[in-house]
Chains A and B, each alone.
Chain A
Amino acid sequence: MTTRARVRSVVKHLALIATATLMLYPVLWMVVSSLRPQDKIFQEPGLLLTEAQVRNYSDGWSALADTFDVYLVNSAIVVLGAIIGNLVSCSMAAYAFARLDFVGRRPLFAVMLMTIMLPVHVVIVPQYILFSELGWLNTFLPLIVPKLLATDAFFVFLMVQFIRGIPRELDDAARIDGCGHGGIFLRVILPLMTPALATTAIFTFIWTWNDFFSQLIYLTDPDKYTVPVALRSFMDATTGTSWGSMFAMSVVSLVPVFLAFLIGQRYLVRGIATTGIK
């Protein structure tokens, strides 16, 4: 590498690191605070740690009705179900909208978009009553089944846009080879959509992991609580909030999400790097 290129690279890295640190300041503060004694958290601002302790972690772990791993597992179950549901059902629906020509395609697409335009708070009560009649209250079903039924129109739309970026010539080539729609879908479209699928998986993970309201409403047994509900249980407006425990457990719950992203983005990299025609 020439000196000039090296200097440019160093500058680029420095700039990136500076931006990253700035962006991460709140996160870093939270990690540092989780290591501070509870009563010092607001008295010592800034990132310098004078006495580190892990007490908040052990306190927070067992502060609620169950040890925190129960909540992590619950969140994992809901998230896994949601990811599988979304990947399967949304890709199928997206294929139909992007590649198939059928009666009512345009209006149905509009309806699909409309379903994401209504704020959740006004459908939650009728939905709650519906799930109550089905007997699904206090289970994970109201949180997972909708994903199996492609109610996340966001991802259908995302995948539609990606599929439209795949040249139809590839479909035609597969059709010549004797594939029906199923074959085209499985052999041509899905493999080439890997970035979109990875994106869907990552986003479903993030949003479901953080989805507080539905999880609060549908899960009544504390041992079914998920991470966001459990984290809020550390807060109380009228007496003291256990900030130390809450920060500690927030850090703990950030770790799997961060790791999932770190690993998952490998799949974002794979895509059409070459001509895409095998």
Chain B
Amino acid sequence: MRHVVSRRSVLFGVPAALALSACSGSGGGSTELSNEPVTLRFTWWGSDARHQRTQQVITLFQEKHPNITVKGEFKDWNGYWDSLATTAAAQEAPDVIQMDELYLASYAERGALLDLSRVSDHLDTGGIAEDVLATGKVEDKQYGVPTGLAAYSMVVNTDLLDQYGIEVPDDDTWSWDDLKEIGAKVSAAGGGKVTGVQSWGFDMGGLNIWTRQSGGRLFGDDGNVAVKPAVVADYWRYLVELADKGIAPPPSVTVERATATLDQSGTATNASAFGTWWNTQLTSLSAASGQHLTLLKLPGEADAKQRGVYHKPSMYWSIFSRSKHPGEAALLVDFLANSQDAAEVMLTDRGVPVNEKIRTAIEPKLDPADQAAVRYLNDIKVSPPPRVTPNGASDIEKILQRHTEQVLFGQAKPEDAATSFINELQAEIDAAA
């Protein structure tokens, strides 16, 4: 029988190949641009709307650089990370990678991403504010270019409030207690079909804000968990109170909506008047809801020890450390980040553009919900963003979700859940070091 790969080499070769192929070292191609035709692989996650826009951007790029062909590889969120991990393990990851804040440090510290200073000839980051650009740094090296910004906000359904004769609160001064009060009013008027607040506790943004408002931080500079158990316990106590008082739906409904997609959430189905969301999600929410949704600033900002709200990079562009064409890849990233033509196609699909010039240029082209999102971002007062999620902590949202579920269903007390959460998170960070 003819074997392409001999039996022995398979038996012993596969583990050897694993070792060899994952060998660190500079690897990858030269950063000089080539004269020959080059093919780049470019991967992103998203739904079909994003795929279509990105394909258009690719066409524009190829017109500008005729010798470069770009192959787009798009996947859904879950499949994306499975695929990226597998391809990176085999040293076959795509050249340009859309990266998320949760995983940036994990991939960067493990040597999978290119230090972008090496391709600064082809990639101009000048149009991006320093502190925003710094969110793409891990251990002081630039591994990702932020594509867009988002900020945490409170989305309110003003149609519902009008219907119940409740006034929209003053979002410059309101507190978390105020939210409870007004939420209770909505629930009372809603008679079981509408609740005041859509519960949260399943994503990192809310916990970050809560921690910062209390003067603390989720992660310290050393990459360890820095939040105090009491703060996390309070976070959950508030949620439990909301559920107990009927201000938020019963736990089984909350959990059901949380594991479903955006269009089945309380806000999108007009079953909750208030909900915490990233401002860039307003467009999708409005489309699903069909009623008037507005962005409000978060409660508790006025009295907080430190402003909770910050500019979060919605995603980054990174380059694979072993890309054979880092120079061309940098050209593509530069186009994505700085080209106004590209921005006019993408609009706010990947967040509000970081490049201020571009942001102003495209604003007139946006539809009302997107314009509202941009205005919100420009208006709010922020404090410096938190550090990038440390290596090992990529799973924080799943850990958080599990503990929130335990607390909501009464399987754990907030204090115990808080300790358990912090310990588990720290253990993951330790294991990755």
Chain A residues engaging chain B, CB cutoff 8 angstroms: 39, 42-43, 63-65, 124-126, 128-130, 132-134, 137, 212-213, 216-217, 220-222, 229, 232-243, 245
B277 CB → nearest A CB, Å:
10
Q: What's the Cα separation between A112 and B127 when bound, in Å?
A: 60
B289-306 CB contacts (< 8 Å) to partner A: 290
Residue-by-residue, is B1-34 near A (CB-CB < 8 Å gives 1, otherwise 0)?
0001100001000110110010000000000000
Chain B residues engaging chain A, CB cutoff 8 angstroms: 4-5, 10, 14-15, 17-18, 21, 41, 45-52, 55, 71-79, 82-83, 86-87, 89-90, 92, 94, 261-264, 269, 281, 283-284, 287-288, 290, 349
17 A–B contact pairs at CB < 8 A?
A: A39-B290, A125-B86, A129-B17, A134-B4, A213-B82, A220-B71, A222-B72, A232-B75, A232-B78, A233-B76, A234-B47, A236-B45, A236-B50, A238-B77, A238-B281, A241-B261, A241-B262
Let me know if B76 and A64 touch, CB within 8 A. Answer: no
Let me know if A125 and B261 touch, CB within 8 A. Answer: no
Given A129-B14, A240-B284, A42 and B263 contact (CB-CB distance below 8 Å): yes
Chain B contacts for A217, CB-based, 8 A: 82-83, 86-87
Chain A contacts for B17, CB-based, 8 A: 129-130, 133
Chain A contacts for B83, CB-based, 8 A: 216-217
A242 CB → nearest B CB, Å:
6
Let me know if A134 and B41 touch, CB within 8 A. Answer: no
Let me know if B41 and A233 touch, CB within 8 A. Answer: no
Closest residue of chain A to B72, judged by CB?
A222
Interface secondary structure of B, over-half rule: helix
Let me know if A236 and B82 touch, CB within 8 A. Answer: no
Let me know if B287 and A63 touch, CB within 8 A. Answer: no
Given A39-B290, A217-B83, A130 and B14 contact (CB-CB distance below 8 Å): yes
Chain A contacts for B45, CB-based, 8 A: 236
Q: What's the Cα separation between A132 and B14 when bound, in Å?
A: 11
Q: What's the Cα separation between A242 and B49 when bound, in Å?
A: 9
Given A42-B263, A240-B263, A233 and B48 contact (CB-CB distance below 8 Å): yes
Q: What's the Cα separation between A124 and B89 when bound, in Å?
A: 11
Given A235-B47, A241-B47, A128 and B261 contact (CB-CB distance below 8 Å): no
Let me know if A65 and B263 touch, CB within 8 A. Answer: no
Let me know if B86 and A240 touch, CB within 8 A. Answer: no
